[in-house]
Amino acid sequence: MYKGAHEARAFAARLRHLPDRATDVDVVLCPPFVSLAAALQGLGSESRVQVYAQNVHWKLEGAFTGEISAPMVLELAVKGTIVGHSERRQYFGETDETVGKRAAAAVEAGLNVIACVGETESERERGETEAVLERQVRAIPVHDRLVIAYEPVWAIGTGKTASPEMAQEAHAYVKSLHSARVLYGGSVNPENAASLLAQPDVDGALVGGASLDPTLFEAICLAAAKTLAA
């Protein structure tokens, strides 16, 4: 819940040419609903940066006050959406079932999807990481426009980061359950991005707090490009 329309437009304008420098990296911005149109304006029609929403409902329309449907964001020329982010699960009652329904509705409508999964700190301490991931991943549809983001809840906004080895282990397990590419999300920053993205099963990053600063976000994207070129 950062960056209203004015800030989002300026942020997007600053990053509109980033794909030219971060070669072969897909760059996606996910602003709040009220800032989607402004971000697209800031990027302009020629930019290869894409804009995704932060969530969509599983119904096309109806009496669901406060929700936004896939056709509504498509009408803005938004290309995709996040579903199942850990904060949606933690604060707003999102379940594996509703995440699956949102993902299925989004891809059916023509959106790309980033579907989020990940365990809490207590679940990891109890040795339940694989069981949690299996339950969450099994609820997500298989589709060529869908990627999964593994975001260990204990590493989101805490400054803690899964070690590259921990990330690799979790990503390999997710890929044993689902054919999608898998992004890592959890306190990614310019200092740890290269080591995380160098892991064979880490296909990208879902960047949280560091994405609020365009300089930091650009540095992460450039680290991804350098890793790809290595």
Alpha carbons 61 and 67: distance in angstroms, whole number: 9
Q: Does 151 qualify as catalytic in the annotation? A: yes
Q: Which of 85, 94, 119, 171 is flagged as catalytic?
A: 85
**Cα distance from N-terminal residue to C-terminal residue, the chain:** 35
Q: Which of 57, 94, 119, 151 is flagged as catalytic?
A: 151
Residue positions annotated with a catalytic role: 85, 151
